[in-house]
């Protein structure tokens, strides 16, 4: 993947070091909390655990290369989605990407690094603690640069869903339908974001000089954070009714469908009879 020295997005807000760190949130806690998050749980349930730990401080600017990387990837998503929205007869509103260390306040509320990367619809922003990328490499076995790009592209995929009204449609069902059924909607929402990440990769392959290895790295990342894989790691068995993001196979399959087609209109996971 070619990214060094390329144009960076201007829509980066660096909040690293902007506020004191809370106690807790160490790497072990992050690993546990990621499992909770990707299984649809509430990371705040780890409060007692995190209060018993300490987290080393992270100085703002300590990872300038990481900032450059996310800036380049975000710029590529802006270029691709602006063009795709124009083809739809719509205007693409560029999201903001917020870098933080340890904890952050968003329009969706307070979040810690234990939450992992996330998208907040009300403020149209992607939030990332760059330490997650090291976790992606060391804990989930997805070390490639394009595995990191996939994570960003997935969150931007949620932004696309927000602009198209898909997220609102799903959220309106919360509390109106049984939890099991809402979880199924959540899975379809997440798989569509994976599909959109693949669509972006299809159109960015020339911008970033992507190789077959880059795509394999993205597939490895998608596979590593499937609900079934994480449940097996966390508890030794799977509970399909609790899935909120999709299985490893599903996540890889929808990413590849987007990558191979490059057509956002083919990603209606909500109409798909099988995922």
Using 50, 70 and 90 to split pLDDT, how confident is the model at 239? confident
The pLDDT of residue 20: 40
- Does pLDDT of 61 surpass 50? no
Within a domain: residue 114? yes
Within a domain: residue 112? yes
Please compute the mean of the pLDDT values over residues 216-222 and round it to a whole number: 89
Please compute the mean of the pLDDT values over residues 49-63 and round it to a whole number: 41
C-alpha neighbours within 13 Å on the C-beta side of residue 149: 31
Are 152 and 77 spatial neighbours (Cβ–Cβ below 8 Å)? yes
Give dist(CA 102, CA 131) in Å, integer. 9
Give dist(CA 89, CA 77) in Å, integer. 18
Please compute the mean of the pLDDT values over residues 233-247 and round it to a whole number: 84
Q: What is the mean pLDDT of the chain?
A: 84
Q: Token pair of 195, please?
A: 């599909």
The pLDDT of residue 232: 79
Using 50, 70 and 90 to split pLDDT, how confident is the model at 63? low
Q: What pLDDT, in 10s, does the model give residues 81-96?
A: 999 999 999 999 999 9
Ranges 58-72, 153-167, 238-252: which has the least confidence: 58-72
Within a domain: residue 275? no
Within a domain: residue 1? no
- Does pLDDT of 269 surpass 90? yes
Within a domain: residue 94? yes
Q: What pLDDT, in 10s, does the model give residues 7-42?
A: 999 999 999 987 544 433 444 444 445 544 443 444
The pLDDT of residue 140: 81
For 16, the 3-state DSSP assignment is coil
Question: For the stretch 81-113, what's the b/e string if a residue is b when 16 or more beta carbons lie within 10 angstroms of its beta carbon?
Answer: beebbeeeeeebebbbbbbbbbbbebeeeebbb
Are 100 and 127 spatial neighbours (Cβ–Cβ below 8 Å)? yes
Query: Between the CA of residue 105 and those of 102, 127, 266, what are the distances in Å?
Result: 11, 10, 35
Q: What pLDDT, in 10s, does the model give residues 170-198?
A: 999 999 999 999 999 999 999 999 999 99
- Does pLDDT of 257 surpass 90? yes
- Does pLDDT of 157 surpass 90? yes
Share of the chain above pLDDT 70, in %: 84
Query: Between the CA of residue 36 and those of 21, 60, 104, what are the distances in Å?
Result: 22, 28, 19
Q: What is the residue range of 76's domain? A: 12-266
The pLDDT of residue 19: 52
Are 9 and 74 spatial neighbours (Cβ–Cβ below 8 Å)? yes
* 96-99 and 12-14 strand pairing: parallel
Is the pLDDT higher at 21 or at 265? 265
The pLDDT of residue 17: 80
Q: Specify the number of domains making up the chain.
A: 1
Give dist(CA 105, CA 103) in Å, integer. 7
Q: What pLDDT, in 10s, does the model give residues 93-141?
A: 999 999 999 999 999 999 988 888 999 999 999 999 999 999 888 888 8
Within a domain: residue 115? yes
Q: Which residues pair with 126 in a beta bridge?
A: 97, 119
Please compute the mean of the pLDDT values over residues 147-152 and round it to a whole number: 94
The pLDDT of residue 62: 52
- Does pLDDT of 46 surpass 60? no
Are 27 and 113 spatial neighbours (Cβ–Cβ below 8 Å)? no
The pLDDT of residue 21: 42
Within a domain: residue 167? yes
Give dist(CA 171, CA 189) in Å, integer. 10
Within a domain: residue 7? no
For 98, the 3-state DSSP assignment is strand
């Amino acid at each position: 993947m070619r990214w060094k020295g390329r144009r960076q997005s201007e829509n980066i807000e660096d909040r690293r070091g902007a506020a004191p760190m809370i106690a807790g949130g160490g790497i072990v806690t992050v690993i546990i909390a990621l499992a909770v998050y990707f299984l649809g749980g509430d990371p705040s349930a780890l409060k007692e655990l995190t209060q018993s730990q300490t987290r080393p401080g992270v100085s703002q600017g300590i990872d300038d290369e990481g900032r450059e990387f996310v800036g380049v990837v975000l710029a590529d998503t802006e270029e691709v989605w602006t063009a795709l929205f124009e083809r739809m007869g719509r205007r693409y509103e560029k999201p903001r990407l917020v870098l933080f260390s340890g904890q952050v306040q968003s329009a969706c509320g307070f979040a810690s690094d234990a939450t992992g990367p996330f998208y907040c619809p009300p403020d149209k922003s992607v939030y990332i603690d760059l330490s997650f990328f090291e976790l992606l490499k060391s804990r989930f076995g997805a070390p490639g640069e394009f595995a990191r790009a996939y994570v960003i592209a997935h969150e931007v995929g949620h932004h696309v869903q927000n602009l198209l009204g898909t997220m609102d449609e799903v959220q309106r069902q919360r509390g109106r339908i049984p939890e099991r059924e809402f979880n199924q909607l959540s899975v379809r929402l997440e798989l569509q974001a994976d599909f959109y990440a693949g669509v972006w990769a299809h159109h960015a392959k020339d911008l970033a000089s992507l190789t077959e290895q880059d795509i394999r790295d993205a597939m490895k990342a998608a596979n590593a954070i499937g609900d079934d894989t994480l449940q097996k790691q966390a508890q030794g068995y799977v509970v399909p009714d609790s899935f909120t993001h999709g299985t490893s196979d599903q996540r890889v399959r929808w990413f590849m469908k987007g990558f191979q087609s490059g057509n956002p209109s083919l990603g209606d996971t909500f109409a798909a009879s099988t995922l």
